[in-house]
């Protein structure tokens, strides 16, 4: 192997987020939802039962409604989730100038497999795959692992990072800034819910969410634990999902005379439909309509350079661990 070839070898980092429709138009939203909701990791029902239901009832009813929500949150830069993922990728690339840093999406473009193969062809002899989901769950992290492994290139995968002190401290700092604004009656940690059946079958997600809340509170000694509730949001379909639900909790708080609430969403690292539309619009309106007063959301990490630096450090640490493992 010549010196030139040695020089070309480098390390890759692929940040992976959930994905987004290409545009907020109904056909694109329908195409995206079909891909997402056809993944057996997301919907565990038998395909013979689920697919006719999905294509015959759910997609025709849900696609145009979801499209109107996407139209509300769409920006000049396109989908906020994609735009923030791009910002993170650029910032991490600056922090790791010798690496090849790219992003991909579990659903929609750019796809995980082809991106990993392109990185290998560009000289990456090892790529760290970093799902942008702090907590592991079958419905978000497992599809990324399957797609990444199917690419057939050398990879090492970060399974979760909820337990990293640097990440918990960052969440605590964001929360601390918001707590300075006013005196809140309640602080809600709201995580994306998953079906309770997944947890029964051994999914570690609920335990990891609860550990995230506890970990962040360690860095906020001034916040009374009695004010804090861990809740879940974004339930889909008729099956039981993890509770308590955020919306129900908000309405109960108002009934108890707790009308000033602060919400943080530690399972989301970038603003998306769930934070911008569900929380900032629908849950806000429900809270206000029931008599709530102050309703404040702590934004996700979005383009925070400190979070991008954390991702860079995490990737370096993961690579060192995998190299040590191999020897």
Structure tokens at 145: 């692992």
Residue 160 assigned ligand-binding role: no
How far apart are the C-alpha atoms of 289 and 24, rounded to whole Å? 28
**Order of all β-strands in the sheet with 260-264:** 228-233, 186-192, 260-264, 294-298
Structure tokens at 205: 């997600």
Angle between helices 165-179 and 205-218 (to 10 degrees): 60
Structure tokens at 94: 């600056």
How far apart are the C-alpha atoms of 302 and 308, rounded to whole Å? 9
Nearest by Cα to 230 from 205, 195, 255, 200: 205
Residue 174 assigned ligand-binding role: no
Nearest by Cα to 213 from 199, 202, 227, 203: 227
**Quick check: 37 and 70 in contact, CB under 8 A?**
no
Radius of gyration, CA atoms only, the chain? 20
- CB count within 10 Å of CB 284 equals 17
How far apart are the C-alpha atoms of 180 and 166, rounded to whole Å? 21
3-state secondary structure of 1: coil
How far apart are the C-alpha atoms of 185 and 253, rounded to whole Å? 9
Residue 192 assigned ligand-binding role: yes
Q: Where are the alpha helices (DSSP H) in the chain?
A: 3-8, 26-37, 47-53, 59-73, 80-95, 112-121, 141-150, 165-179, 196-200, 205-218, 246-255, 273, 284-289, 305-326
Query: Which residues make up each annotated binding site?
Result: 77, 192, 274
Query: Which residues make up each annotated binding site for Fe-coproporphyrin III?
Result: 77
Query: Which residues make up each annotated binding site for Fe(2+)?
Result: 192, 274
């Amino acid at each position: 192997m010549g010196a030139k070839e040695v020089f070309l070898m480098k390390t890759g980092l692929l940040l992976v987020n959930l994905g987004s429709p290409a545009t907020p138009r109904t056909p694109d939203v329908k195409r995206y939802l079909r891909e997402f909701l056809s993944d057996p990791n997301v919907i565990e029902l038998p395909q013979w039962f689920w697919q006719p239901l999905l294509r015959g009832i759910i997609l025709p009813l849900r696609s145009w409604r979801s499209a109107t929500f996407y139209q509300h949150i769409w920006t000049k830069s396109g989908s906020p989730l994609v735009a923030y993922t791009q910002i993170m990728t650029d910032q991490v690339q600056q922090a790791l100038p010798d690496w090849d840093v790219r992003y991909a999406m579990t659903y929609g473009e750019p796809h995980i497999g082809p991106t990993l193969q392109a990185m290998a062809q560009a000289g990456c002899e090892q790529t760290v795959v970093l799902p942008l989901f702090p907590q592991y769950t079958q419905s978000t992290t497992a599809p990324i692992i399957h797609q990444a492994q199917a690419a057939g290139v050398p990879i090492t995968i970060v399974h979760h990072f909820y337990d990293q002190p640097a990440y918990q401290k960052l969440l605590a700092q964001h929360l601390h800034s918001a707590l300075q604004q006013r005196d809140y009656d309640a602080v809600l940690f709201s995580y994306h819910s998953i079906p309770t059946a997944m947890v029964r079958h051994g999914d570690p997600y609920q335990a990891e969410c609860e550990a995230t809340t506890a970990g962040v509170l360690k860095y906020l000694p001034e916040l009374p634990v009695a004010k804090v509730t861990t809740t879940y949001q974004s339930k889909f379909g008729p099956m039981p999902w993890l509770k308590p639900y955020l919306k129900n909790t908000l309405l109960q708080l108002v009934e108890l005379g707790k009308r000033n609430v602060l919400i943080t969403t530690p399972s989301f690292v970038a603003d998306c439909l769930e934070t911008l539309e569900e929380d900032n619009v629908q849950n806000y309106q429900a809270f206000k309509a029931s008599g709530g007063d102050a309703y404040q959301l702590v934004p996700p990490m979005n383009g925070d350079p400190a979070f991008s630096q954390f991702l860079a450090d995490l990737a370096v640490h993961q690579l060192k661990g995998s190299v040590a493992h191999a020897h």
